[in-house]
Structure 1
């Protein structure tokens, strides 16, 4: 039953990709331009179709072996596709080499590992927060100057996606993913041994720059391996991990700073990056189908001696001009032309900025109650619990209401992902009011409010991310790139560490 459902989802997904050219979500001209260069949708299926029967395909193992279908007819897996017999395609829709056809256990392991990559990035962003006071005293600078370590890290997030997002649509997902993880870990070392403020601030920026590569490509990897229904669960997991790392890292940073040394905030991040990288080497594989077909064509040319065999993706050579005109500027063009992307980014920016604002405001509030510096970060555990709860609720929503709607209508609109966002938008404002109002009441009331803040924040965040991905599909990495660039830039203004305590004291 589950296998039949996945096949049904896959067929609907192919049809949806074909209909994207007529969709108001993305311009037909842009879609056709992208398809002309890649020659296939993100399922690796060539989009030029005819109704006539095509000859056996020399790159198809079934054709070469003379295998027939159940009716005794020659292999027709390539019927209706590109007439050029030298175009390398998948052996069939069920080809196990296609990431969409991976076994469930492999998809689950892949998704968990990719989400750990995300945790490493978000952990690096906020673990330094508790160390800003001590480092400011050590190097003789103001607290505001030292808080630049957080703000510059966020600005690094904004600089990287315009490079790494389009890169993933040319060279595949794994190159920017591993580049990002390696750079994130590498720049922890000079921060940990830094002897001046300048070194710390530069390293924090570069950590954000490389870490943004992970944020920029993970959503596309989930599109590559999951059909529509279960994709929501996978993206929900990664979105939960983005915020999970941001909320539990300050707790770790506070205890490391007060009981070890502030430099351990960098060493602990490096250790976690190393562990994630180790498991990633065992589990993470390329998922971008045009690149996989290109590799398959290269292998078949070597095995058969037929130099004419090629993937459609190889027909358009990649040079600097194409990289700049087509790929590097694509996220910016999408942001200018797509109202959906603009308004989603503005809303999610406000939400994410609220989370960054809480990094300093929540512990500052509890220090005013007389709590020690390390203990004052423990209320983030309530925010973390709210985030985990939101991730579970979104998964339940996806596997019940959304699945039922998808099956009833033989598909679903991207807007069908948004009910959790509506719920989160109802929960968040009164929760923020409760969090601020309960300053003079028992501490438990404020901790409970923090739970609902985390719950509301993530319901909005997950639904928004999944909505963007479902809307743009094959263009999702570029859409997410410009979303991250614009969102993190504005979030650093809304929720910068320099301003949070000032606002708190003023109110």
Structure 2
């Protein structure tokens, strides 16, 4: 995918907000005096992460993206261990489903705490500590003595893995300027959504050919490799922390008066964490526009995670697939996401034209154009899946239907995420944290009732019900595109 200009990138506004939120406060306009502190560290080209070689930047981006993919892979691979888990740990299938729900809950709660830590101590230490803990706490899930221990550590590993869903996007924006950030940001953005699709692919192959515990042993091997890479190839990219370290070196070798801008600001970790926790929920309670978009994206992710219970019913019970073949059935969703990602050059042109139309100051609502396409494709794909799940219909039918569903999923998430960080520019981090909390709660809850719903309604009725719910939500981006500016003007949180 070719590089694009900043105004054409669906994610560049998110990048700008990330920088604005995490960079030190801009100094007041200088007056013609000598009041400027000569001992405030400045960023030299040698210190700037944007001056790294392009190949090294891409190694860093791919390492971070693979770490993010691994974190979400861990959520879905558990779906194919449930039968063995229930048998060997002497529990019920309903209890084993909690392995997904508790992990996803951890993924949703973690960013509320990890975000403030990264702003004080930098991205790198958060990556390294979280992944070391992610690796360490996965061992009890690979060799569980009982179901209680297994479930507790699934929740803890979810919290540890959440760092790459809340901090990693900032690293990408640290490395590339606005003219070249489009492609690497798109690669990172899709990685956590490809993870849940890769989990069943690998998990089905492992469970079919060996013991279910090898799903977690494979995860341990992957985590170890990622941990080594995070320590060896990923440097600190957060500029305020880079300047803080530079000031510390200069104090030791030059003059004790040297300071970094971040050191002149008063920080309270407790207050930052409390702000990170209560602001997202305040936004959900008081802003209907944010609530509607969060519910829409949460419903979509809930359906994606519900598929981990629904696909075995559709393909094993109806079409007679074995476990490995059922894992391969998720390829349709993955193919849809990949095809959607390949359309990025087209969307770049669309947003460039929209920006020109508004003389370079396009409103956030133009970012919902891509979500409009997703609003049509996602329910359409589910309806195709629903009415091709009959036993006399070839098994390729529902897999074909999952392709537009996967593409629609990518389009919707891209549009919603970008709109939230641009429309709620003053509190962009809190807007995304609110979205993460609601999405994770739906993703954790939906798998719990999937079996009962499909037993009661059948494969056609249950899948059609999900498609109907998405259809009800489909007008949302079209409505906000027309009246979003008026709603923002009346909002206490959104940017005018």
Offset of residue 488 of structure 1:
0.1
| Match 1:421 to one of 367, 371, 378 | 371
What's the secondary structure of 1:264's corresponding residue?
helix
Offset of residue 472 of structure 1:
5.3
Q: Distance in 2 between matches of 1:106 and 1:149?
A: 37
What's the secondary structure of 1:160's corresponding residue?
helix
Q: Contact 2:103 / 2:155 at 8 angstroms: preserved in 1?
A: yes
Aligned CA distance change for structure 1 residues 207 and 175 (closer, same or farther; 3 Å): same
Alignment of 1:466 with 2:418, yes or no, is: yes
Q: Contact 1:421 / 1:461 at 8 angstroms: preserved in 2?
A: yes
What's the secondary structure of 2:267's corresponding residue?
coil
Give 1:361's aligned residue.
Answer: 310
Give 1:73's aligned residue.
Answer: none
Q: Distance in 2 between matches of 1:326 and 1:315?
A: 20
Aligned residues: 449
Q: Contact 2:57 / 2:175 at 8 angstroms: preserved in 1?
A: yes
Give 1:389's aligned residue.
Answer: 339
Q: Contact 2:135 / 2:224 at 8 angstroms: preserved in 1?
A: yes
Under a length normalisation based on structure 2, what TM-score does the superposition of the two structures give?
A: 0.82
Map Cα deviations across residues 39-84 of structure 1 (whole Å, 9 max, x no partner): x9468575233254565xxxxxxxxxxxxxxxxxxxxxxxxxx822
Offset of residue 120 of structure 1:
0.7
Q: Distance in 2 between matches of 1:400 and 1:457?
A: 21
Aligned CA distance change for structure 1 residues 162 and 435 (closer, same or farther; 3 Å): same
Q: Structure 1: give runs of 5+ residues left out of the alignment.
A: 21-39, 56-81
Offset of residue 246 of structure 1:
0.4
Q: Distance in 1 between matches of 2:180 and 2:96?
A: 43
1:163-174 residue pairs with structure 2 within 5 A?
Answer: 163-174=113-124
Could you say which structure has the larger radius of gyration? 1
1:422-501 residue pairs with structure 2 within 5 A?
Answer: 422-440=372-390, 441-471=393-423, 476-493=428-445, 495-496=446-447, 498-501=448-451
Q: Distance in 2 between matches of 1:317 and 1:418?
A: 38
Q: Distance in 1 between matches of 2:280 and 2:37?
A: 32
Q: Distance in 2 between matches of 1:43 and 1:54?
A: 29
Give 1:402's aligned residue.
Answer: 351
Q: Distance in 2 between matches of 1:105 and 1:473?
A: 32
1:97-496 residue pairs with structure 2 within 5 A?
Answer: 97-228=47-178, 230-305=180-255, 307-319=256-268, 321-327=270-276, 329-336=278-285, 341-367=290-316, 368-393=318-343, 395-406=344-355, 409-410=359-360, 412-440=362-390, 441-471=393-423, 476-493=428-445, 495-496=446-447
What's the secondary structure of 1:439's corresponding residue?
coil
Q: Contact 1:42 / 1:288 at 8 angstroms: preserved in 2?
A: no
What's the secondary structure of 1:128's corresponding residue?
helix
Alignment of 1:86 with 2:39, yes or no, is: yes
Offset of residue 330 of structure 1:
4.6
What is the RMSD of the two structures over their aligned residues, measured on CA atoms?
A: 3.1
Q: Distance in 2 between matches of 1:262 and 1:247?
A: 18
